Amino acid sequence: MAALKATAWLHPPGIRWVRRLPAREKVLYLTFDDGPIPELTPWVLDTLRDLGVQATFFCIGRHIAQHPEIYTRIRAEGHGVGNHTETHVNGWHTSCSEYVRDTLQCQARTGNRLFRPPYGRITLPQAWALRQHFELVFWDVLTGDFDSRLSPEHVLQDTIRRARSGSILVFHDNLLSEERMRYAFPRTVKHFLKQGYRFPPLPGSTTGMPASRQAPMPPSSSHS
Ligand SMILES: [Zn+2]
């Protein structure tokens, strides 16, 4: 599988940022942020299985700690994972040292090089401090499933309109997104499957540590 770094650009120099992967074939990358949670992630996994497609889950570390069985299932079913920090910290409101500490705490659970900053917010010093550990994975299609002002149908149509080959799509296994995600995610996949698209996990996302091999982590005290 091709490495992300082969298609990322340097912005700024020394830090790898990815927003979309160039693709000659029909391929789309589904990503789910903020899980795993029992209310939604098993449903997402069931739906992915029924549709016969793969996704990448950018997990919050403390959710992995709370629901290791769901995390194990994600990995056992061949989906990818990535780091979404231990406590979903906002980089713009967090010191560099605290941001790095929180991110590396989650890294002890996920174990590969893919990292997505919560809210897409990270400062240059934070990104610079993490550059040796990670490739920063953003997106080119933010579905808007988190936006309660949008109708589920609007989210679906807008996602279909903007996705193109190589796109990285962001949904959320987060209760704030539930109504719109449950509606738009399977319909988006069905739409593009009919057009011959494939949905693989992100390159590099299926490596790293399965839950069963993880050392126990101390409970987190902060919330965001
Ligand atoms: Zn998030």
> What CATH number does residue 36 fall under?
3.20.20.370
Report if residue 135 sits inside a domain.
yes
CA distance 75 to 153: 31
Whole-angstrom distance, CA of residue 91 vs CA of residue 27: 31
Domain count, the chain: 1
Q: pLDDT tens digits for 132-167?
A: 889 999 999 999 999 999 999 999 999 999 999 999
Annotated active-site residue 34? The verdict is no
Q: Is 104 exposed, middle or buried (0-12, 13-18, 19+ CB in 10 A)?
A: middle
Q: Is residue 60 part of a domain?
A: yes
How far, in Å, from the CA of 50 to the mean position of ligand 1? Answer: 25
Let me know if residue 50 belongs to a domain: yes
**10 found inside a domain:** no
C-alpha 10 to ligand 1 mean position (Å)? 23
**Confidence tier at 10 by pLDDT (50, 70, 90):** very low
Is residue 151, in this structure, part of any structural domain at all? yes
Note whether residue 98 is domain-resident. yes
Nearest CA among 25, 17, 72 for reference residue 199: 25
Do the beta carbons of residue 186 and residue 44 sit within 8 Å? no
Cβ-proximal residues to 54 (8 Å cutoff; 6+ apart), any chain: 30, 48, 78, 79, 80, 199, 200, 201
Look up the domain containing 202 and give its range.
20-208
What torsion, rounded to 10 degrees, do the Cα atoms 112, 116, 121, 122 define? 20
Q: How remote is the CA of residue 62 from the centroid of ligand 1, in Å? A: 13
Q: The whole model's pTM is what?
A: 0.90
167 in a structural domain: yes
